[in-house]
Amino acid sequence: DLPDAGTFSWKAPSNIALVKYWGKLAGQIPTNPSVSFTLDTSATRTTLICEKTMDPGEFPHFSIYLDGAPAPHFSEKIRTFFERILPYQPFLSEYAFEIRTENTFPHSSGIASSASGMAALSLCLMDLELKIYPDMSTEFFHHKASFLARLGSGSAARSIKGGVVQWGEHDAVPGSSNLYGISYPFEVHPVFESFQDTILLVDKGKKEVSSTVGHALMQGHPFAKSRFDQARKHIDQLRPVFREGDLNAFMALVESEALSLHAMMMSSNPYFILMKPGTLEIIERIWEYRRRTGHAVCFTLDAGANVHLLYPGENKETIQAFLKEELVSFCQDGHYLLDRVGPGASRL
Ligand code: PMV
């Protein structure tokens, strides 16, 4: 029996990929596996109010609010999402939804909210499903939440669980799937549990190239096969790096991933340079600082100009002093966000 109404609230985190997802097949199937750190403070809080509708002819039936105000610019994305997930949650057509959402990170920070936003909404929808099927296991709940989130935005599949998460099938990683993200199943050295991610906002504008366009550029890309092989090889190499806490190998792998992602965009047709001069200034200063001091700090990039500075928690004071002295001047309005590895989504 379907409940007449329900209200569900979840907080879901953002995540930062170490091995990048870039390229997909139909049905949001990734062309290579990816691995990420779940973040802690960058998150979305969503409340979903469900009410059985008398008019099941209209689907999807929803309204969406961001920070309490109607957010019609999200409607198209949410509509597509509902249409994609209906085959997996057919009861959705019986309901009218009100979605109330807020992000912990500032608007127009250039930080995408799609991963945390789609994850939070998917978890709320799974709560409705749980009310209908109360016997489902916790594992099924999490896998299906990630499965639904993936259909909203690929990287959202990695925003359910905490710590290190893998999404995408890899022979050497048991339980890995193209359909949903899993907790990294191998040993992770404690040095990574306290890892910090400081997001340097070099460009707070809207993304120049949407990820939909970006993923599509990998189809027929001259280097696509090598790139997908490289990502798989990096995932193999991560296993001993995570186990032993080998920071030098970690930094080399993560920076190589970021630059390979950008190299793919520079060599696609059409081609793009998504770094800004400030991005390169920051990278050069990180390298110079590392040569000079030997301290563990590295960068990663997503499909934009902002830089994620990754470093162990035990180096926090030293690295944040370096950040203020040498890097903040390259951030737009001097803005950056302090984040760290976090525990995954939680019910509110
Ligand atoms: O989730 P999407 O489709 O917005 O793709 C995100 C792709 C990158 O952020 C560039 C890499 C990643 O794995 O998160």
Radius of gyration of the chain (CA): 20
The CATH number of the domain holding residue 101 is 3.30.230.10
pLDDT of residue 77: 95
Residues 121-160 as b/e (b if ≥16 CB within 10 A, e otherwise) read: bbbbbbbbbbeeeeeeeeeebbbbbbbbbbbbbbbbbbbb
Task: Tell me the pLDDT tens digit for each residue of 48-99.
Answer: 999 999 876 789 999 999 999 999 999 999 999 999 999 999 999 999 999 9
pTM attached to this predicted model: 0.97
Q: Which of 189, 224, 245 is the last residue of a domain?
A: 189
Q: How remote is the CA of residue 22 from the centroid of ligand 1, in Å?
A: 7
Is 32 a pocket residue for ligand 1 (Cβ < 6 Å)? no
Residue 294 lies in a domain: yes
CA 151, 113, 18, 246 dihedral sign is: negative
Q: What angle do CA 324, 329, 331 make, to 5 degrees?
A: 100
Say whether both 33 and 80 belong to one domain.
Answer: yes
Which residue blocks in 99-246 are alpha helix, DSSP H? 114-132, 138-152, 190-193, 211-216, 224-244
Residue 348 lies in a domain: no
SS3 state at 338:
strand
Say whether both 138 and 207 belong to one domain.
Answer: no
Residue 87 lies in a domain: yes
Is 302 a pocket residue for ligand 1 (Cβ < 6 Å)? yes
Q: Ligand 1, atom 6: nearest CA belongs to which residue?
A: 155
pLDDT of residue 56: 67
Distance from C-alpha of 46 to C-alpha of 282, rounded to nearest angstrom: 34
Cα 212 off chain centre by: 14
Q: Which of 131, 156, 189 is the last residue of a domain?
A: 189
Say whether both 151 and 202 belong to one domain.
Answer: no
pLDDT of residue 55: 78
Say whether both 196 and 232 belong to one domain.
Answer: yes
Task: Tell me the pLDDT tens digit for each residue of 224-249.
Answer: 999 999 999 999 999 999 999 999 99
Residue 346 lies in a domain: no
> Token pair 């080399």 is at which residue?
252
Residue whose C-alpha is closest to residue 179's, from 195, 162, 160, 200: 160
Q: How remote is the CA of residue 55 from the centroid of ligand 1, in Å?
A: 37
Say whether both 141 and 203 belong to one domain.
Answer: no
Distance from C-alpha of 330 to C-alpha of 348, rounded to nearest angstrom: 37
- Of all residues in the chain, the percent with pLDDT exceeding 90 is 93
Say whether both 157 and 40 belong to one domain.
Answer: yes
Say whether both 221 and 329 belong to one domain.
Answer: yes
Cα 57 off chain centre by: 34
Is 159 a pocket residue for ligand 1 (Cβ < 6 Å)? no
Is 127 a pocket residue for ligand 1 (Cβ < 6 Å)? no
- 95: containing domain: 5-189
Is 155 a pocket residue for ligand 1 (Cβ < 6 Å)? yes
CB 245 within 8 A of CB 194: no
Mutate to test the pocket of ligand 1, among 15, 160, 178, 211 (most ligand atoms within 8 A of CB): 211
Which residue ranges of the chain lie beneath pLDDT 70? Answer: 56, 108, 110
Residue whose C-alpha is closest to residue 307's, from 290, 332, 288, 289: 332
Residue 163 lies in a domain: yes
Say whether both 184 and 48 belong to one domain.
Answer: yes
Say whether both 265 and 317 belong to one domain.
Answer: yes
Task: Note the ipTM here.
Answer: 0.99
How many Cβ atoms are within 10 Å of 330's Cβ, its own excluded? 20
Q: Which of 189, 207, 239 is the last residue of a domain?
A: 189
Q: How remote is the CA of residue 209 from the centroid of ligand 1, in Å?
A: 12
pLDDT of residue 107: 75
Is 15 a pocket residue for ligand 1 (Cβ < 6 Å)? no
CB 15 within 8 A of CB 181: no
Distance from C-alpha of 15 to C-alpha of 194, rounded to nearest angstrom: 15
> Token pair 């469900």 is at which residue?
50
pLDDT of residue 183: 98
Say whether both 184 and 289 belong to one domain.
Answer: no
| Overall number of domains in the chain | 2
Residue whose C-alpha is closest to residue 127's, from 114, 113, 152, 144: 144
The CATH number of the domain holding residue 291 is 3.30.70.890
Residue 103, amino acid: N
Q: Ligand 1, atom 9: nearest CA belongs to which residue?
A: 302
Tokens describing residue 11: 């907080």
Say whether both 149 and 234 belong to one domain.
Answer: no
Helix 247-266 and helix 224-244: axis angle, to 10°? 160
Say whether both 61 and 202 belong to one domain.
Answer: no
